[in-house]
Structure 1
Amino acid sequence: MRTLLGIAALMVSSPPTAGFHYPVSSARGNTRQRTFSAQSVASSYSTVSFSRMVLGMATWSNGQAIREYQDFLATGKSELDKEDDRPSVIVRSSNPASITPLTDAIFALGNGDDVVVTPNEALPVGKYPIYITVPPYELREFIQNLSDEWKARAEDFVFFSGTKFCGVVEPILRDFGMCRDTMSQVVVGFTLPPPGSGLGGVARMPEDMACNIGTDAYGEEKWAGETQSCGKWNGAVASRLDRNGIRCKSTFYREWRRAMWERALYDAVWNVVGAVREDETDHLQVATYFEMEASDMMWELVNGLRGGLAVTLIYGFEDRLFSFAEMRGKGEPCELRDEMFDHILNVFPGKSRMLWEYCNYAKDKKGLLQRSNVPPVPSELSELPSPTRQGNMRADGVI
């Protein structure tokens, strides 16, 4: 699938000029290792029992995940509870300059009866989800300054992650004890049109970004970039999105968290790898022309997630992310914004050496991230190799 999409992309897209290129020798070595690992998994898979095959190779990361599933089975229900959409409250920033397209998108997906408030206003009486659409760089202050009335309704909050507007909010929520099973959270897998993008000066309706990337060994459809929700109001979220033709998967928190970090990986790697180029680069071009660099950086960050947060991404994440970029990345510019640095880039545990090398290059050579506190790279790596790349061939002749 990726090969065919890549060929199609080459036919319609011209290669951007590369600012620099990470050593390809190490990338090739990693590729061989990953191929070997995949073959090892395939060979060992044939020895598992039939009962495990029927379960679709379900993976349980820890005792908490097992308990969640056992508690669910104890209810006697065949699926997670799903509540219908209802008039809700949407919380936007008090600063007009900080209102994000997420606010308009959530309102547009409703029935026109939602109430939009700022954090200093009173909440209506009733039972309803409270969609928190303040930007991540205002979220900590928002939670710290909650009134008693708002604190009493904290279990009804719905938080968003993913895309260049929402980023990763887990570190903030964790500081306030809000990373728990019942807290409602959403990984955004739909477009967030800016104001004035539609007819009459209003924003266009959000559209689904989920991609069908084929079927697995059992004939089940595989999806990339889909919206996922968890927590108390996951059913209401799914109902609102489903009604508007947006695919939304309702799941348990532990599985949702893996999907959230997978999206975080995409937002960080694709924007960093593309932003350092001489020419403006979109996500499709990163997947087409800078695959090795993106892959190397992804695996470095994945190893950090596994060691630092005990998060193991679901098998096949690399194929899903590249497929998503190839199918949805055309025209999506690679951007690095100072206000989102601590919510898209500076969120991964571990040393993240390659990520910080690219960020320092962007700061020193491209004039980006000037207000961000980018961790310095080791002195021996301060001079990066810079062979340029044209199409699929580097300037030094290596294909």
Structure 2
Amino acid sequence: MASYKRVALSTQSAQRNTDETNLIHGTESTMASLTTLSLSSTSSLWYHCTKPDSLFNLRYSRTITCMAAATKVIPSIIVGGGRVGKALQDMGGGDDLLVKRGQPVPIDFPGPILVCTRNDDLDAVLQSTPKSRWSDLVFFQNGMLEPWFESKGLGDADQVLAYFAVSKLGEPPVDGITDTNPEGLTAAFGKWGSAVAARLEAGGLSCKVLEKEPFEKQMLEKLIWIAAFMLVGARHPGATVGIVEKDFRSEVGSLIEELASAAAAEKGIFFEEGIEDRLCAYARAVSHFPTAVKEFKWRNGWFYSLSEKAIAQGKQDPCPLHTSWLKDLNIVQ
């Protein structure tokens, strides 16, 4: 599939064309396989748009190619040559600069700096980036980054919540569109938010640009998703997130409720109703993902820090189930 031509299909343009909308939402039989987007599917939007004998290609290639040409992708520095970094580079126009881990970030290459490394490599990335360019950093990492941002004086740094998946290096990403959020969940925040959205849309992915408060809520929801599904899955060795959603819904639902309550109290926010349904819908969209409690400091560790703080103050643990299961797995003592 890597040899196929990349094309873009934005939600807004699709809504202006009834036939395209019907195809995207699977109301025509030739595209029924796209109604459920998951990594286990061998069909992708790019495949159907570019396969030579595809009906979709015959009827819509001219329209979509024009839309792709109209999408301006700003040349960027991409830090990290893994699955996400390579996918972002493929969405560009060939003018990006790929910087691998440990290499210096140049000062004279304008545009955003898309950081696609592991969380534990962020200190090294910052050290390799001229301080005058820190405001151009755009972080694609999962997890709770706010404490790290504050410790580095980064303030409201640009971030992207990437609700798409790249199964292997060089393969096209699959959008995390769900039955509860058919418009897509990927979101960007910050001064380069629109530039990131344009790049993702050029790659056939959805992306919305949010202000700080709604972005923070969505960031916390994704953090809850990772913490809850990974921990419940770790309790059942071999379980994927799809198995957790299907066979252990009651466990993960209880944990989602607990973590959401703790996060809302800590941040002074309210989550919209239906958070469990939204997070379970995403689990179905990426059902084959394996589960494991990783990058503890950035994920489950944030919730455990809330527990430690409350207990130190003589208060009840806001996340007793979470704490108990972490101890059962010997992740904490």
- State the shift of 1:120 in Å: 4.3
Deviations 1:182-234 (CA, angstroms, capped at 9, x unpaired): x3210011112333xxxxxxx20112112242xxxxxxxx4486100011000
Partner of 1:252: 211
Q: Classify 1:120/1:324 alpha carbon distance in 2 versus 1 (closer, same or farther; 3 Å).
A: closer
Q: 1:1-399 residue pairs with structure 2 within 5 A?
A: 84-92=72-80, 100-118=82-100, 119-123=102-106, 125-143=108-126, 145-146=127-128, 150-162=130-142, 167-180=143-156, 183-195=157-169, 203-213=170-180, 222-223=181-182, 226-278=185-237, 280-326=238-284, 328-337=285-294, 340-348=295-303, 349-351=305-307, 352-363=319-330, 374-376=331-333
- State the shift of 1:126 in Å: 4.4
Deviations 1:37-90 (CA, angstroms, capped at 9, x unpaired): xxxxxxxxxxxxxxxxxxxxxxxxxxxxxxxxxxxxxxxxxxxxxx94211101
Deviations 1:359-390 (CA, angstroms, capped at 9, x unpaired): 22223xxxxxxxxxx433xxxxxxxxxxxxxx
- State the shift of 1:122 in Å: 4.7
* Distance across 1 between alignment mates of 2:281 and 2:205: 19
* Residues 235 and 250 in structure 1, CA contact (< 8 A), matched pair in contact too: yes
RMSD over aligned CA atoms reads 2.2
* Distance across 2 between alignment mates of 1:124 and 1:205: 30
DSSP-derived class of the 1:186 partner: strand
Identity rate of aligned residues, in percent? 24
DSSP-derived class of the 1:153 partner: helix
* Residues 109 and 244 in structure 1, CA contact (< 8 A), matched pair in contact too: yes
DSSP-derived class of the 1:245 partner: coil
Structure 2 gap segments, 5+ residues each: 1-70, 308-318
Aligned residues: 250
* Distance across 1 between alignment mates of 2:205 and 2:87: 12
* Residues 305 and 312 in structure 1, CA contact (< 8 A), matched pair in contact too: no
- State the shift of 1:146 in Å: 4.9
* Distance across 2 between alignment mates of 1:122 and 1:161: 18
Computing the radius of gyration over CA atoms, which structure comes out larger, 1 or 2? 1
Letter in 1 for 2:287: K
* Distance across 2 between alignment mates of 1:223 and 1:314: 17
* Distance across 2 between alignment mates of 1:231 and 1:248: 13
Letter in 2 for 1:113: D
DSSP-derived class of the 1:319 partner: helix
DSSP-derived class of the 1:137 partner: helix
Q: Classify 1:347/1:105 alpha carbon distance in 2 versus 1 (closer, same or farther; 3 Å).
A: farther
* Residues 78 and 115 in structure 2, CA contact (< 8 A), matched pair in contact too: yes
DSSP-derived class of the 1:152 partner: helix
* Distance across 1 between alignment mates of 2:141 and 2:115: 11
**What TM-score, normalized by structure 2, do the two folds share?**
0.69
* Distance across 2 between alignment mates of 1:311 and 1:141: 33
Structure 1 gap segments, 5+ residues each: 1-82, 93-98, 196-202, 214-221, 364-373, 377-399
**What TM-score, normalized by structure 1, do the two folds share?**
0.58
DSSP-derived class of the 1:205 partner: coil
DSSP-derived class of the 1:211 partner: coil
